[in-house]
Amino acid sequence: MPEADEVLPAPLPPYRVLTGLVDRFGRTQTFHREAAGEFSGEITGVTDGAGRHFRLVLTTQAQRAEEARQQAISGGTEPSAFPDTLPGYTEYGRDNGIRLSAVWLTHDPEYPENLPAAPLVRYGWTPRGELAVVYDRSNTQVRSFTYDDKYRGRMVAHRHTGRPEIRYRYDSDGRVTEQLNPAGLSYTYQYEKDRITITDSLNRREVLHTAGEGGLKRVVKKEHADGSVTQSQFDAVGRLRAQTDAAGRTTEYSPDVVTGLITRITTPDGRGIGVLL
């Protein structure tokens, strides 16, 4: 741990970009960015630790709109409203309209002559830029999503192929109030100041107690349906520092002051466990 008067490294300047990740075993994941053109600076390729290379196919909103028009023409149907641009800024942040449309395996050192003839995964997007469907390598739809007509990006339903559709209802503040599962447990959510009550369709109840504001709001105590209570403690910047289980045993976590990653865990019996990063 750095000393109190030790000068820490300065934050990276904004022009520095992530080019790779190395885990504790020395395995490297390398990101390849487009050098020029409409996707300049975007990640369009990844090489994993096994030497396999994946190509990330990106599309713009204008390209997706043109594809939708061409599909309508070839199918003899009236083109649906699909704008060529999206709002440049949303409540979730800036939006350049670029989306990931497919992932291809383009090199495998173990099987260089046996590469798949289709993408490993393919994504479909709504005219508003929301993720609509996911297809696997056999071109089978495996996920689908439905969104609120009024509020862009607010998911109101999703489905795994072969399973029932899960639906959501929201209050006027945009918070989920119900999660409806026709073939399993459904949940209701009741919000109070620093308190969220979750009740399932078997009338079992859990209560989450929160502290902090905005992005630093954290769950500091959880009352479980069986009557037990667990608690968590966080530092001033929202990092987990300790958890106490239902039996009153506390586990402490020591994060790195620079990265925020946990470097040491102290168990309830006082043993310290170092975490290699």
Structure tokens at 216: 């630093």
Burial of 132 (0-12, 13-18, 19+ CB in 10 A): middle
CA nearest neighbour of 25 among 41, 49, 3: 49
Could you give phi then psi for residue 116, rounded to 5 degrees? -65, 145
* Burial 170-206, CB ≥16 within 10 A → b, else e: beeeeebeebeeeeeebbbbeeeeeebebbbeeeeee
Report the residue count for the chain: 277
Q: Residue 92 has what pLDDT?
A: 76
CA 260, 264, 267, 273 torsion: positive or negative? Answer: positive
Quote the mean pLDDT of the chain. Answer: 91
Could you give phi then psi for residue 253, rounded to 5 degrees? -125, 135
Q: Residue 274 has what pLDDT?
A: 81
Which tens digits make up the pLDDT trace of 121-141?
999 999 999 999 999 999 999
Element (H, E) at 64: helix 61-75
CB 99 within 8 A of CB 86: no
Residue pointed to by tokens 């209570």: 229
Which tens digits make up the pLDDT trace of 86-111?
998 887 788 999 999 999 999 999 99
- Those residues of the chain that have pLDDT short of 50 are 1-2
Distance, CA of 25 to CA of 277 (rounded, Å): 9
Q: Residue 2 has what pLDDT?
A: 47
Q: Residue 9 has what pLDDT?
A: 52
Amino acid at 269: D
> CB within 8 A of 45, min separation 6: which ones?
31, 32, 53, 54, 55, 56
The single-letter DSSP state of residue 216 is G
